[in-house]
């Protein structure tokens, strides 16, 4: 891992790295929002895999913790919002099926 870090140090040590990754992390909850909207308003939730959202939930939960450990507020916040969105989708799909 040290050699990878050394090769990428110019990016990883950039003073705006945490800010940039935090902002880019916001893409995740923005990408999930339309699916959440659809499961709320659609007549049917057929075709929405709750198991896939459980996997997303676990990944997002891990990256929420990574954001906390790295003290990257943007990543932590974006992943926390994504966790809540995925959890809402899981609950709605399970209730409506």
Task: Read off the pLDDT of residues 19-68 as tens digits, 9 standing for 90 and up.
Answer: 898 889 899 999 999 999 999 999 999 999 999 999 999 999 999 999 99
What is d(CA 71, CA 91) in angstroms, rounded to the nearest whole number?
A: 30
Going along the chain, which residue ranges are E strands? none
The pLDDT of residue 22: 84
Look up the pTM and report it: 0.85
Q: Read off the pLDDT band of 1 (50, 70, 90).
A: confident
Count of domains observed in the chain? 1
Is the residue at 2 inside a domain? no
Domain ranges, residue 89: 15-96
Percent of the chain's residues with pLDDT above 70: 100
Is the residue at 42 inside a domain? yes
Q: Say which CATH number the domain at 21 has.
A: 1.20.1280.290
């Amino acid at each position: 891992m040290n050699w990878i870090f050394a090769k990428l140090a110019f990016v990883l040590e950039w003073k705006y790295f945490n800010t940039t990754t935090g902002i880019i992390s916001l893409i995740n909850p923005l990408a999930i929002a339309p699916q959440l909207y659809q499961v709320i308003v659609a007549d049917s939730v057929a075709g929405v895999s709750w198991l896939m959202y459980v996997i997303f939930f676990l990944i997002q939960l891990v990256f929420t913790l990574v954001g906390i450990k790295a003290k990257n507020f943007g990543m932590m916040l974006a992943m926390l919002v994504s966790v809540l969105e995925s959890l809402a989708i899981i609950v709605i799909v399970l209730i409506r099926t």
